[in-house]
Amino acid sequence: MDWIIDNIIEIIGTIAGLIFLYLEIKQNKWLWPVGLLTSVMYIYVFFVAKLYADMSLQFYYVFISIYGWIIWSHGSNQSKKELPVTHLSRKLFLILFGVSMAIYVFISYVLVNFTDGSVPYWDAFTTALSIVATWMLARKILEQWLVWVVVNSVSLGLYIYKGLYPTSILFFFYTVLAVIGYLQWKKDMLRSQAMSGN
């Protein structure tokens, strides 16, 4: 019975995750409430799978979903148009790289020393990059898609290894659609710049 419940929750999370990604590519602010639902489902899924960093990441996603909703909505209300897509500056890249490394070291230490996590270093790697990439998404930074290609590819391997097959399907699509999302956002950004004369 527990196995059936686990699978139903994972499948709901998978479907919500695919809807989230579609809305993300379309730059639709409703991705944030859908993302919140996805995160709630995956708190349970990753707890059962003993992927504790990934589980903790879902709590972060709950809060970043609220933050993203506010930022994307504020951008629309303030200027009567959507928050624009921007490039990652060199300075911000260096800051985010440093933040990613610090988060990775911290999470790795916690997982190795205080949990029975099954793949602590890979779990920490995907979690650290996901934290940074989701913040970049909330700010509509184009290169967040490239970070997601790395995160989703590694996560796909992890979830196959852990036997989370519906989630593996989700992350296969996440990987492919991250490339599509990058190309779509870049096209939209160039079109907006051309229209504004920048």
pLDDT of 79 above 60? no
Residue-wise pLDDT for 142-189, tens only, equals: 999 999 999 999 999 998 998 888 889 888 988 999 999 999 999 989
86 φ/ψ angles, rounded to the nearest 5 degrees: -130, 165
- Residue burial 100-119, b: 16+ Cβ < 10 Å; e: rest: beebbeebbebbeeeeebeb
Mean pLDDT of the chain: 89
Average pLDDT on 92-100 reads: 97
Residue-wise pLDDT for 28-49, tens only, equals: 999 999 999 999 999 999 888 8
Average pLDDT on 129-133 reads: 95
pLDDT of 102 above 80? yes
Average pLDDT on 105-110 reads: 95
> In the structure, what pLDDT confidence band is assigned to residue 14 with cuts at 50, 70 and 90?
confident
> In the structure, what pLDDT confidence band is assigned to residue 77 with cuts at 50, 70 and 90?
low
DSSP-derived secondary structure letter, 86? B
pLDDT score at 197: 65
**The amino acid at 90:** R
